[in-house]
Amino acid sequence: MHNHGAVGLPLGFTLLRLILLGAVTAVAGWALVRPFAPAASGTLTRRVVTGFSGIGGVVVLLIAEATWMPPPAAVAFIGLLAAPVALRRPRPVLARLVVAAVVLVTAAAGAWFTGPPSSSAYITLMGAFACVSWLALCPPTASVRVVGAALGVTLLAGLGQVTIAGQLGTPAPGDPLLTRVALGGSPVDLLVVPQMPGWNLVHTTDTPLAVGNAPNALVPAEPRDGATGRWALVWLPEGRSDLWLDREGTRTTVPVDTGRVAWSGPDIRGPEGPDYASAVLAAKLTGKRGDLPWPRLTDADAAALRTRVASIGGPFRLVADASQRATEAAAIAREEAARLGLPITPDAPDALVLGGAPPPDARPHLAPWLDPPDLTTPEARRYARTLAAAFPGATPSRSGLAAWAG
């Protein structure tokens, strides 16, 4: 289902991340050491600090993918970073004006911009880089040194925040995403299948929440017949973007990377989507990629289905969904019923369920692939324990056990 030739490490984003780590280390280190330096910084030091601050600020702007920031504000921010690099000498008047001005501008920007929950951490990093860049041109007064040290700590804290939030993570592009995020005071487990451009199936634990590709495009995750947890369909664009989550007004975002190759398998919106996701979840729990074949009717399934039709021994009704496996199975069930002389009627007391929910007014006979898996073996018990710990509430499935063992 996946094109491996188009899936690889996002080198551009990885390079930006390394540059950001280097810039924070250099700038925060200088800001924290400066209170203990006896003299003013020389021209070379000022150039290095302002240069690293400018680069770091621009990199934060790129990593944040700040489409939520008005273009004039982004241009003004870049100008604020570039100006100190062009100044050769310290400006004594800056000691009284720059610190307060830049801090106030940053605070105003944070209050003005409306973006994802991570935008506050990004704005903090941008403002701290800008402040330190200008502070490098200020005489080393006591207030300047104290503010500089505070900004150094702010840079480290901002970097820690975006790192903990997963904003510097690099999800494998084009591979199903399994992650756990903090939302509303408790963790939420999340599976995104296939994490490729187009429609994606989002599976969460049994917690009421809404998901979407934008804050104004959230849809509720809802239960599905025959599947545990909650499910939602979200359209994701090519490349890196954010998946929005909302629980009772508390929001967060999860970075996703769909790559550039569209999903070539069956429609993920179909009734077999949850069964496929169950297999993908098991595969991800083993540390493997989620490149799995779509559920299909195997020869063993067909043989077991014929045996099940014979075991009913009388009239029965067929219950099937629109999936390809159920359609093929229905043809086999009808053929076997005709061979055995068993009538198929819509009001029979027995129902052979090939897909969908069993009818409440009939005795259900589940298709073999809908039966609960055999969890008596050590390997199957290990699968069940791992699944319960990694994705609470998820029920082991036959497809999941097969993916786990395979």
Tens digit of pLDDT for each residue in 140-154?
777 778 888 888 888
- Given a cut of 80, whether residue 97 has pLDDT beyond it is no
For residue 75, pLDDT beyond 70: yes
* pLDDT for position 338: 94
Cα 251 from Cα 241, distance rounded (Å): 16
279-311 pLDDT, tens digit each: 999 988 887 777 788 888 889 999 999 999 999
Q: What integer pLDDT is reported at residue 115 of this predicted model?
A: 55
**Mean per-residue pLDDT over the chain, rounded:** 81
- Percent of the chain as helix, strand, coil, to the nearest 5: 50, 15, 35
Ranked by mean pLDDT, the top range of 77-81, 93-97, 98-102, 173-177 is 173-177
Residue 109 φ then ψ, to 5°: -65, -40
Write the single-letter amino acid at 194: P
Burial class (CB in 10 A: 0-12, 13-18, 19+), 282: buried
Residue 150's pLDDT is what? 85
Select the highest-mean-pLDDT range: 123-137, 174-188, 229-243: 229-243
Instruction: Give the residue with greater pLDDT, 190 vs 145.
Output: 190
Helix (H) / strand (E) containing 125: helix 119-135
Give the other-Cβ count within 10 Å of 368's Cβ.
17
pLDDT digits (tens, 9 = 90+) for 203-246: 998 888 999 998 888 999 999 877 888 999 999 998 888 899 99
What contacts 261, CB < 8 A, 6 or more positions away? 2, 3, 6, 7, 174, 196, 197
Task: Average the pLDDT over 179-183 and give the result.
Answer: 81
- What is the sign of the dihedral through the CA atoms of 313, 316, 321 and 326? positive
The pLDDT of residue 340 is 94
pLDDT of residue 45: 81
> Domain spans of the chain?
9-164, 177-269, 278-406
- pLDDT, residue 8, reads 33
pLDDT at 53 over 60: yes
Question: For the chain, how many residues are written?
Answer: 406
3-state secondary structure of 240: strand
Q: Is residue 334 over pLDDT 90?
A: yes
Q: Return the percentage of the chain with pLDDT > 90, whole number.
A: 25
pLDDT of 101 over the 70 cut: no
pLDDT digits (tens, 9 = 90+) for 246-271: 988 888 888 888 888 888 888 888 88
- Which of 21-25, 275-279, 351-355 shows the lowest per-residue confidence on average (mean pLDDT)? 21-25
Q: What is the pLDDT of residue 305?
A: 94
- Assess contact for 26 and 54: CB atoms under 8 A: no
Give the pLDDT of residue 118: 59
CATH number of this structure's domain 177-269, picked from the four choices 1.10.8, 2.60.40, 2.40.50, 2.60.120 = 2.60.40
pLDDT tens for 104-121 read 565 555 555 555 555 677
Residue 10: the pLDDT is 42
What's the pTM? 0.65
What is residue 107's predicted lDDT score, i.e. its pLDDT?
54
Q: Roughly how many angstroms between the first and final C-alpha of the chain, as a whole number?
A: 17
- DSSP state for residue 372 in the 8-state scheme: P
Question: Cα torsion at 325, 392, 195, 213 (round to 10°)?
Answer: 120
Confidence at residue 31, expressed as pLDDT on a 0 to 100 scale: 86
Residue 175 burial (10 A CB sphere; 0-12, 13-18, 19+): buried
Q: Alpha-carbon distance 96 to 138, whole Å?
A: 9
Looking only at the bridges linking them, the beta strands covering 350-353 and 177-183 are unpaired
